[in-house]
Each structure stands twice: as structure tokens, then as C-alpha cells.
Structure 1
Amino acid sequence: MKTIRVVAAVICDSVKEKRKIFATARGYGEFKGQWEFPGGKIEEGETPEQALKREIEEELDTKIEVYDLIDTIEYDYPNFHLSMDCFWCETITGKLVLKEAEAAEWLRKDELDSVQWLPADLTLIEKIRRSMSAL
């Protein structure tokens, strides 16, 4: 089975307090309308952190700071294996413009179950929930 290596940004309002996280709904493809953490494929010669900064600038017109690795998710979809490095991030500059996603939300800890997550992203939700502060 083909493996696809990607990175995902768990963008939060504050890396210290983590009161809200940013999620996007896919605007295309088989999983259109399902929710995920923004990011994308790692290109040859890039570190995961470099790939994440590039992808967020391309997808959301925003510069981010990449912090700690939350987890590497290994997930088997029907046609490929996904290996996804997920990092805590904060925005530096930019307005989070949706160039590829069809919708976006800032979700509080008690709202994490209010959207339909992609299967691989869903495996990360409990770990994120444990790290977030209540408002």
C-alpha cells in the first residue's frame, strides 16, 4: 500500500493556554465537507516544519510558528496509508484566508465533537482535548 507523508497544523489561539483551535472543512475530493487540521504533503528535501509553514502560507495566506509535535498519526485509508505529523502552531501574520477549504471554525474544547472529522484527524482529538483549557 502506498504511504503518503503529510503534516498538519493544530493552530491554537495561544500555545500556552490552548482555549481554541482552528479547523477547516475540505473543499474538494472524496472527503469534501469533512473536517481536518490544515496542512499538506511534505515535499522532497523539506523538514516537516518547513512543509507545514509552506502549506499554511499556500492554503491560508498566513505565516505560522510551529511548536511541539503532538503526535504522528498512522492511519490506513482504503487506497493508501497516511503518516501525519501533527504540530501545535500559532499564527504570526495573516488573516487565515480560505483558499482551498470550504469552511473554517475556531473550536473550543467543548465544541470538538461538533464537526465531522476525517478519520485520521479524529484519532488526534482526545489528545488535543486533554491539552486544551476550558474557557
Structure 2
Amino acid sequence: MRYPVVAGLLQKEGKVLLAKRPAHKKRGGLWEFPGGKVEEGEAPREALRRELLEELGILVEVGEEVAVVDYDYPEVAIRLTCFSCQIKEGEPRALEGQELGWFEPEEIDNISLAPADVSLWRNLRKTLLQR
């Protein structure tokens, strides 16, 4: 079984928001697109709205699905779905001990991303770098 996970593509002035996983968590110290697990009975877009409010303190409008990646970690198989998001209210704040950063698309190639996010970035970068 693949567990559903969602991520948000948040952009501002051409930069992309990434979150660095806290050191005490699995894959600690690696960067990822903000988001999280989809709870049972929850729609993916609802899950992303909830996760971004909990983790970053922002209200977002969840837009189109921009990429889907299946990834097998040693302990779990996931399906990571990324949606384009627009911030409607608030400024992203690190509410769960993570570090946040806004990065130029060209910079992301040199950042240590979580493995599933590496695959996700490969899909997203073509689109973002063509704009």
C-alpha cells in the first residue's frame, strides 16, 4: 500500500519555499516541499490546506496538481502529490521546529533534498525553469 502524502509548491518573486526537516525526525536536516500526510477520509487538497496551516501558519488556495511521484523508502511506500498553492493569508513561519527558505529554482539543484523530493523536483524543475 502506498500512503498518500501532499506537498505545496509555493512561489514568491520567482523563488520556491522549502522546509528543512528537524534533526530529530526521519530524514532530519534534508529539505522538502512543505506538506504532510493525508489522514484517512481526508481529500488531498484539504490535507494540504491543514498541513500548511499547522506547519507554517498560512491559509492557502490549493490550485492545480503539478506533479505526482511514487517513492519507496525502506520503511514506507508513498505517493507524493504536489499542488500549486497561493498564500491567501499570513506569512510562512516555522511552527514545528523546521527551518524555512525561499530558493531560486537554479539553487535547488544544489540543496540536500529528501529522496522523494529529489524525484518531485526533477518533475517540477522543467516547468519552473521554462517560465
Q: Same fold (TM over 0.5)?
A: yes
State the identity %. 34
Q: 1:101 offset after TM fit, Å?
A: 4.5
Q: 1:134 offset after TM fit, Å?
A: 7.6
Give TM-score scaled by structure 2 length: 0.90
Structure 2: distance between partners of 1:31 and 1:91: 27
Unaligned runs of 5+ in 2: none
Structure 1: distance between partners of 2:103 and 2:49: 21
Q: 2:75 aligns with which of 68, 73, 79?
A: 79
User: 1:89 maps to what in 2?
Assistant: 85
Structure 2: distance between partners of 1:44 and 1:91: 25
Structure 1: distance between partners of 2:43 and 2:93: 24
* SS, match of residue 12 in structure 2: coil
- Pair 57,93 (structure 1): closer, same or farther in 2 beyond 3 Å: same
Once superposed, which parts of structure 1, at least 4 consecutive aligned residues long, lie more than 6 Å away?
none
User: 2:3 maps to what in 1?
Assistant: 4
User: What do the CA deviations read for 1:11-44 (whole angstroms, capped 9, x no partner)?
Assistant: 1127xxxx21100100131211101011111112
Number of corresponding residues: 130
Is 1:22 matched with 2:21?
A: no
Unaligned runs of 5+ in 1: none
